Amino acid sequence: MWIRAAERIDVLAGGVVPGPAEIDPLPDPSTAPADGPELAAGWLAWWQALTEALPLREPVDPSRLPSEMVFALPPDFAGLAGWPALQRVAAARRHEARDWHVRRVKADLAAGHQNDLRTIHTVSDLARELGRPVKPFKLDFLILPVRDDQIRQLRPDRYLVPQSLRDGPRWPHLLRALLLPHA
């Protein structure tokens, strides 16, 4: 996400592709505008490969940052094999992207979002509404700092959720809609 924003890679949101990352201020791009089409095609292929390859994650442990999980895939990840310009950019800017991510995760943890009780309340409210306990379920929400107002489903139990939606007042209503098919 950071590389897409930093390099001004123009990829339209749609399908599993979220809106642009919320990065302020944006760093200067390191590529020439002429590289744009190759970077866009490469980034889209890389993003699609990443969303297909994402393993199940363990719950966030507030005592350690998950940056080593997020950046476990090297810039020569197979999804970049056919895109040498993007591979060079990813390798050169990897540490900047990691630093941005670590700052973002620290801020999220400091804000206490991992202790947000709205999810528990939403499940309780749904059980009360259904007149029975909610069946056991496991859903994976990948929270992304993007300018987007759409939750994107990767598979029946995994969703890309814009951070602004998860943190906003509509989250209980949106979450209820995601929980209902599993209840």
User: pTM (2 decimals)?
Assistant: 0.81
Looking at residue 59, its pLDDT comes to 52
pLDDT in tens, 143-165: 899 999 999 999 888 999 999 99
Looking at residue 111, its pLDDT comes to 81
Contact 175, 118 (CB under 8 A): yes
Looking at residue 68, its pLDDT comes to 47
Strand, coil or helix: 154: strand
2 Cβ contact partners less than 8 Å away, ≥ 6 residues apart: 21, 23, 93, 96, 97, 100, 101
Looking at residue 69, its pLDDT comes to 43
Sheet of 152-155, strand order: 140-144, 158-162, 152-155
Looking at residue 19, its pLDDT comes to 94
How far is the C-alpha of 168 from the C-alpha of 101, rounded, in Å?
21
> Which residues does the chain have with pLDDT short of 50?
56, 62, 65-73
